[in-house]
Structure 1
Amino acid sequence: MTHEAELATLERLLDDPSPVVRLAVLSKIKAAGLPGVLWLEALTKDEALATHARILLADLRTPEAAAHSFLAHIRDPHCDLEEACLLLERATDPSLDDDAYSAELDRLAERTRELIAEPLDVRAKCRLLCRVIFGEEGYRGAQESFAIPSSSLLSQVIRSRRGIPISLCLIFLLVARRLGLPVEPVGLPGRFMVGIFRGREPLYIDCYEGGAFRTRAEVQLLL
């Protein structure tokens, strides 16, 4: 029997409560190698089997498997941004929890909701989000540790409150999406910002500079 056929058979045993069965399933998945780990990663999207798949994955994840999962995930042009960040970071830390970011991002979103008094436009809401992230919570550009890998990894940025432009923008974007704010990532030469494209003129949020709002003309001067 091929590994693919064995894995399909094992799917029916993932929720078996017997420790003996669980060990046997784990052994078979290990024998399948990387395809077995990727198969389990896919099952984390199955509502009925997700919990069981995650338990087994805790013993099986490797940097190589994480890298393959990341590459497979980003092939979809509509892939989930937060999951992509998580999968990428798992290439350096396979033990990273599935909810490594969500609690902090949810908390930042909830605090911002407390400050929003409707009706407010997108720009005003973004200013409140900047107040929370860069004011109250003290997220800042990693001036002295720009080249340190931890300044690029979201779990480490959340812990230290210091990050490079793209990691700080990712935190802003992921919280903004929880709030339903229509903002977009903007890659620029030597810079990364968040764009607000509602209204007559675009505005850009420079997360590395504490959430400073910049006009198109100001951004052009920085390039």
Structure 2
Amino acid sequence: MTISPPPPPTLPEQAALLKLLADEDAAVHRAVRERILAGGPEAARWLHPHRLSGDGVVRRRVREILRHFAAREADREFLLFCLRHQDDCDLETGALLLARTAHPELNAEAYRAVLDQWAADSRERWAGAGAPREVLGRWHAWLFGPEGFHGDRETYFRPGNNYLNEVLDRRAGNPIGLSLVYLLLAKRLGLPMAGIGFPGHFLCRYQDAAESIYIDVFDGGRLLSKADCVNHLLRSGLGFQEPFLAPVSGRLILQRLCANLHQSYAHLGEGENALRVRGYLMALTRGAAE
């Protein structure tokens, strides 16, 4: 049985709800908030103009409710994306939708424009370069030098290291967060680059007809050979298997981002967020199986 939301409040009822929303009594505020939330998305429409209210309390509480509705919509959109798209999903769109679940106000087009600009600036840095290693060397000297991209070793497990917008804003992240930015830039630049789901880490790989170059984006873009990667695995006791160096799909990158987020939120005791992200992981797994 489907329960329909209550009818939208009349103008006098809206005025009364807004007045009560500013009430100092916490119990009154909770009851009014729940009444407004029960109205569903329709409530956001009549509330929206009041985000600019001259009453500071009303303004703050209206914006909190609007953010709640926006977060709910962002959650729905990302879940649908996970269920509808297969391994060839658009990684950039998926990463931005994931970021919106934590930042409902996120302007996706603004972040796409930032990536476009950095790609244009990147291309200028290797003008005249020949061999792939020279191209990558010049690019990395700029990207991890003056531009300041770096691995976040101090707060490695912070959730924001997995959200594309936060990695771009801070120019810092964990291995997969930084690799995500690197892959999106490489795609704009036409570089033959793939993400590599290295055990316990994440790498990128430049691959052309002549050679394979592995890149540790977290470590300042350090260039590695296949032998370097194999030796690392042997030293760590994991042994070597070819799938460890195989490219991973956009869907698997999103899964890994969500797995990191689930671990981070659980560690921080943020049970509601951990449960939310667990739902994304289930949707990504289910979508891949269909």
On whether the aligned pair clears a TM of 0.5, the verdict is yes
Distance 1:59 1:138 in 2: 32
The structure whose Rg is larger is 2
Q: Which residue does the alignment assign to 1:6?
A: none
Q: Select the residue among 59, 64, 77 that pairs with 2:72.
A: 64
8 Å Cα contact 1:109-1:178 kept in structure 2: yes
- The higher-RCO structure (CA 8 Å, 6+ apart) is 2
Residue identity in the other structure for 2:78 = F
Report whether the alignment pairs 1:202 with 2:208.
no
Q: Which residue does the alignment assign to 1:177?
A: 187
Secondary structure class of the residue paired with 1:63: helix
Secondary structure class of the residue paired with 1:104: helix
Residue identity in the other structure for 2:41 = K
| CA drift at 1:118 | 4.7
Distance 1:121 1:64 in 2: 48
Q: 1:100 to 1:190 in 2, by over 3 A?
A: farther
Q: Which residue does the alignment assign to 1:83?
A: 93
Distance 2:67 2:159 in 1: 25
Distance 2:113 2:212 in 1: 31
Deviating runs (4+, > 4 A) in structure 1?
58-61
Q: 1:66 to 1:121 in 2, by over 3 A?
A: farther
Secondary structure class of the residue paired with 1:205: strand
Q: Select the residue among 102, 118, 125 that pairs with 1:108.
A: 118
Distance 2:174 2:196 in 1: 14
| CA drift at 1:122 | 4.0
Q: 1:151 to 1:100 in 2, by over 3 A?
A: farther
Distance 2:200 2:183 in 1: 19
Q: 1:119 to 1:136 in 2, by over 3 A?
A: closer
Secondary structure class of the residue paired with 1:188: coil
Q: Which runs of 5 or more residues in structure 2 are unaligned?
A: 1-38, 45-65, 234-290
Secondary structure class of the residue paired with 2:165: helix
Secondary structure class of the residue paired with 2:114: helix
Report whether the alignment pairs 1:141 with 2:151.
yes
Distance 1:61 1:122 in 2: 47
| CA drift at 1:125 | 2.7
Q: 1:59 to 1:151 in 2, by over 3 A?
A: closer
Report whether the alignment pairs 1:161 with 2:186.
no
Distance 1:109 1:143 in 2: 26
Aligned length in residues: 172
Q: 1:73 to 1:127 in 2, by over 3 A?
A: farther
Q: Which structure is higher in helix share?
A: 2
8 Å Cα contact 2:74-2:104 kept in structure 1: yes
Q: Select the residue among 97, 114, 127 that pairs with 2:107.
A: 97
Distance 2:81 2:139 in 1: 29
- Cα root mean square deviation, aligned: 2.6
Distance 2:80 2:132 in 1: 34
Percent identity at matched positions? Answer: 34
Higher mean alpha-carbon deviation, 76-85 vs 212-221, is at 76-85
Q: Which runs of 5 or more residues in structure 1 are unaligned?
A: 1-27, 34-57
Secondary structure class of the residue paired with 1:196: strand
8 Å Cα contact 1:111-1:132 kept in structure 2: no
Distance 1:188 1:69 in 2: 29
Q: Which residue does the alignment assign to 1:192?
A: 202
Higher mean alpha-carbon deviation, 193-202 vs 166-175, is at 193-202
